[in-house]
Amino acid sequence: MQSRLRSAGAGAISRAMDEISGVEWQVADGLTPYHEALAAMEARAAAVRAGEAPELVWLVEHPPLFTAGTSAAADELINPLQFPVFEAGRGGRYTYHGPGQRVGYLMLDLEKRGKDIRCFVHSLEGWLIAALAGLGVEARREPGRIGLWVGRGGDEAKIAAIGVRVKRWVTLHGFSVNVSPDLAHFAGIIPCGISEYGVTSLAALGVNAGMSDLDAALKGTFPRFLEELRTRDKVP
- Of 46, 27, 175, residue with least CA distance to 109: 46
φ, ψ dihedrals at 170, nearest 5° = -110, 135
Alpha-carbon distance 153 to 88, whole Å?
32
User: What are the Cα distances from residue 115, in Å, to 52, 68, 146, 166, 227?
Assistant: 20, 26, 21, 10, 14
The residue annotated as part of the active site, out of 45, 60, 192, 209, is 192
Core vs surface per residue 39-61: b (16+ CB within 10 A) or e:
bbbebbbbbbbeeebbbbbbbbb
Three-state secondary-structure class, residue 154: helix
Pairing of strands 23-28, 14-20: antiparallel
Sign of CA dihedral 146, 152, 158, 161: negative
- Of 113, 111, 3, residue with least CA distance to 51: 111
User: What are the Cα distances from residue 29, in Å, to 62, 89, 109, 128, 130?
Assistant: 10, 24, 26, 22, 25
8 A C-beta contact, residue 28 and residue 36: no
192 is catalytic: yes
Active site residues: 192
